[in-house]
Amino acid sequence: MNSIPVDKLRLRLLGDPILAAKARPVEQITEETHRISEAMLRIMYDSHGIGLAGNQVGLLQRIVTIHVEPPTDEDGNELPVESPGERELLPKMPITLINPEIISKSEALCPFDEGCLSVPDIYARVTRSASVVLKSTLLDGTEFILECGGLLARVVQHELDHLDGVVFVQKVDPDAYPAISRRVDKLIKRNGPRGFKVRRLV
């Protein structure tokens, strides 16, 4: 299932062709899947991230780790969440999603500045659906279909894009992209093979 030893997994940066590849479904949850999850969570936490996809550590497997905290007010008090997915999944964080897929997206849109562990120190506005219906399996084999809103919905969309070979800079709002374009080009040139291009999608 995995051609890379788990202890050799490392964060891949924009320009690495594996970030442009489409990940394959996980056929079976095994002990190795659990080890991969642990390694991905460690890399995610060491890099101060809240989401990580298999491609980002060199694995073309449809596996995602997420740790989204409940929303809080200015005093640190937890705020109520509206979506069933947030109510169900936030208390279980961190979670590992196996073969996640988005069944539907809301027509309501939400702009928000995003960053990415594979695109260090670059942040820009991406407009995404405010909520999504997520279908996935957890590491313990539990399957679910849940509507997710808030930050969880954004992280899910961001990470599932990775599994399809899409990095957030490809979806940065057109009026926001010029401010980051030079830094994106430098990152690609530094980490990618000669002539490698990242195609804009919006």
Domains within the chain, CATH numbers bracketed: 6-191 (3.90.45.10)
Specify the pTM: 0.95
- Report percent pLDDT > 90 for the chain: 90
List, in sequence order, every beta strand (DSSP E) within 40-165: 51-53, 63-66, 95-105, 109-116, 119-129, 132-138, 143-148
Q: Which of 60, 70, 67, 76 is nearest to 27 (CA)?
A: 60
Indicate the SS3 state at residue 56.
helix
- Catalytic annotation present for 27: no
Q: For residue 63, is pLDDT > 80?
A: yes
Q: What are the tokens at 160?
A: 């599932």
Lowest-pLDDT choice from 5-14, 84-93, 98-107, 166-175: 5-14
Q: Among 86, 114, 147, 159, which one carries the catalytic annotation?
A: 159
